[in-house]
Amino acid sequence: MFQTEFLDIPALASAGGEVRLPGSKSISNRVLLLAALSEGTTQVHDLLDSDDTRVMLTALEQIGCRLEREGDSLRITGIGGALPPGTAAELFLGNAGTAMRPLTAALALLGGEFTLSGVPRMHERPIGDLVDGLRQLGCSIDYLGNDGYPPLRIAPADFRAAAVQAPIQVRGDVSSQFLTSLLMALPLRAAAQDITIEVVGELISKPYIHITLELLARFGIAVRNDNWQRFQIPAGSRYRSPGEIHVEADASSASYFIALGAIAAGPGVRILGVGAQSIQGDIRFVEAAQAMGAEIESGPNWLQVRRGRWPLQAIDLDCNHIPDAAMTLGVMALYAEGTTTLRNIASWRVKETDRIAAMACELRKLGASVEEGADYLRVTPPARPADWRAASIHTYDDHRVAMCFSLAAFNPQQLPVRIEDPKCVAKTFPDYFEALFSVCETPRERIPVICIDGPTASGKGTIAAEVAQRLGYGILDSGALYRIAGLAAHRAGIAIDPVHEEEIAALVRTLPIRFTATQQILLGDEDIGHAIRSETAGMDASRVSALPAVRAALVSLQLNFQRLPGLVADGRDMGTVIFPAAPLKVYLIASAECRAARRYKQLISKGISANITALRADLEARDARDMLRSVAPLKPAPDALSLDSSELSIEQVVEQVLHWWQQRQPFKG
């Protein structure tokens, strides 16, 4: 997952390949709570691992559930519909509506002393209609802040003060999570009599209620549904563990890759983990994408999507049935002919952020004309390619804003897109951007490279790693490659001489080399950082560097590190030979005295004896050799920016490089 302040996505050109989706958030948290309320143990497979499920799991442990990891599955031993005596806890539920609202209902009926809180945005998301419904039953719930909103205090209920013969009323036009919460919790009170829930007003997001009813049935609760207005939980209802249950992949997350297939040129995208027969309502996003022009095939657990009509066709759609996935249509509208209208989306305003306002603001940044109303959004794309603008997308700590706006990188003006706070996708899809980049392609020249060259011990490796970490870019330590090639040949038993030159070159082209932001050097899964620093490895590196075919293979290998979303490359000839078109080239220098002192400190910290005078002499001799060598001599590129780090801290050097980089970016916010 990208942990950076922002993520710059280069202009993308095409898409093709397979992507496997994570488990559904909506299903995961429902299954977790139902398993917790049940008797016995439930084994849950394919559970989503995200911020929202983690806060739910923590809360369930706090109330007495036993959780056991078994490989990729989770075993939950439930509380059998009753809390241990004297249970009390303070539960922090982040911004997870699928945890806050159902847990409020369940805990209010179970008894015990609880406080439920979350992040500031959670304290702005309404819960009053659910609390009103629970109070009809005699539940004791107090607001600790503003009335109608979390945080909450829950105390043991007085069920003698309220009868359950009359239907429990709950509004259906604010959030379907209120009804879901009651449906999942009220079997706790249905031992001796039927309990009826009556929906006041129009029920929005019916597909999410369908998910709830399907899962309740799996756990032994057969709810009678009277035209989505009355729901009856029969007397004698009791949660029974199904033994094991599989979590479907997330249909809402599928929307981004369905849209990707519809927008991008190329062979198309195959989406694994969800198919047309999904119980999730957001699978009907497929119909909306087809209406806009996407070509979609489906199997029992997969979708295949490719571009059909182009440009896409604008649509006018009631989105009540796909409230979360409909956000993706707002970005697809940028590529449509005409004006797209998304209706019946009032629930967007009480989600992780006010999504109608957020979408309108960010779409306008890109050059779209947008009209927003209380429950609709109307989007007209930029009239001409030249009207598109590079934009820094504010994500409002909303995972869906971050994910859907990544698709703006396919704009016809070939402009990059900046996604602020990319780690917000951890709520439902932590590896979203990695999955996106795995199926997207773009010409190599569009992928940004920062070159950091300089003499030995100038600190370029440390600076390159820090800059790469701050930008979320890959890293290339070119100085290690000849040592790795020599080590690989030695381990393979290949003599390092001209007779075996082509064999070594072929080996080099297949080496699975990775460099990490923590300056690890990995060959496959093995950290070889120590192995390539041996005297033998140094001698082998010198021998392989004399073989022209091996040098050519290593140049090709270095070029292959230029992958999405970008690269920071350090060495001696990155800006002059390997990446001469890089938009930023930094030539990092420091005095021989300073470099010798740094190297001395580094060696001593590792328990290696050293002489600072000898180190300085060695560095000066290496500088002379590197500058005089016939192939790729050490020198700054003509357009490189020189930076003397002798008197600067690592942080100061990093900040200067990032400042130069930001000056070259087109984003206006």
pLDDT by residue (tens digit) across 86-123? 999 999 999 999 999 999 999 999 999 999 999 999 99
CB atoms within 10 A of CB 206: 16
Looking at residue 126, its amino acid is P
Does 454 belong to an annotated binding site?
yes
Instruction: Give the chain's mean pLDDT.
Output: 94
Mean pLDDT value of segment 632-661: 94
* pLDDT surpassing 90 at residue 545: no
pLDDT over 70, % of the chain: 99
DSSP line for 484-536: HHHHHHHHHT---SGGGHHHHHHHHHT--EEE-TT--EEETTEE-TTGGGSHH
- The pLDDT value recorded for residue 596 is 86
Mean pLDDT value of segment 487-507: 95
- The pLDDT value recorded for residue 659 is 97
* pLDDT surpassing 90 at residue 71: no
pLDDT by residue (tens digit) across 301-332? 999 999 999 999 999 999 999 989 999 999 99
Label residue 162 exposed, middle or buried (CB < 10 Å: 0-12, 13-18, 19+): middle
* pLDDT surpassing 90 at residue 627: no
Element (H, E) at 392: strand 391-393
* pLDDT surpassing 70 at residue 351: yes
Do the strands 474-477 and 567-571 form a parallel or antiparallel pair, or are they unpaired? parallel
Does 458 belong to an annotated binding site?
yes
- Residues forming the active site: 324
- The pLDDT value recorded for residue 343 is 97
Domains of the chain: 6-22+249-442 (3.65.10.10), 25-246 (3.65.10.10), 445-663 (3.40.50.300)
Tell me if residue 42 falls in helix, strand or coil: strand
pLDDT by residue (tens digit) across 419-468? 999 999 999 999 999 999 999 999 999 999 999 999 988 889 999 999 99
Do the strands 474-477 and 440-441 form a parallel or antiparallel pair, or are they unpaired? unpaired
Could you tell me which of 188, 183, 121, 107 has the C-alpha nearest to residue 152? 107
* pLDDT surpassing 90 at residue 614: no
- The pLDDT value recorded for residue 541 is 85
Does 176 belong to an annotated binding site?
yes
Q: How many CA atoms lie within 13 A of 214 on its CB side?
A: 15
Does 478 belong to an annotated binding site?
no
Q: How far is CA 317 from the centre of its chain?
A: 28
Does 175 belong to an annotated binding site?
yes
Does 461 belong to an annotated binding site?
yes
Does 457 belong to an annotated binding site?
yes
Would you state the structure tokens that stand for residue 231, as one six-digit string? 């729901």
> Which band of pLDDT confidence, cut at 50, 70 and 90, is reported for residue 479?
confident
Helix/strand/coil (H/E/C) assignment for every residue in 184-211? HHHHHHCCCCCEEEEEECCCCCHHHHHH
- The pLDDT value recorded for residue 162 is 59
Would you state the structure tokens that stand for residue 463, as one six-digit string? 């600076």
> Which band of pLDDT confidence, cut at 50, 70 and 90, is reported for residue 546?
confident
Would you state the structure tokens that stand for residue 411, as one six-digit string? 């704009």
> Which band of pLDDT confidence, cut at 50, 70 and 90, is reported for residue 161?
low
Whole-angstrom Cα distance, residue 323 to residue 206?
10
Is the torsion defined by CA of 32, 33, 36, 41 positive or negative? negative
Does 97 belong to an annotated binding site?
yes
Mean pLDDT value of segment 634-653: 94
Sequence-distant (6+) residues with CB within 8 A of 504 are 485, 489, 494, 496, 544, 547, 549, 550
Does 355 belong to an annotated binding site?
yes
Looking at residue 475, its amino acid is I
Does 177 belong to an annotated binding site?
yes
Tell me if residue 223 falls in helix, strand or coil: coil
Does 153 belong to an annotated binding site?
no
Could you tell me which of 408, 455, 400 has the C-alpha nearest to residue 425? 400
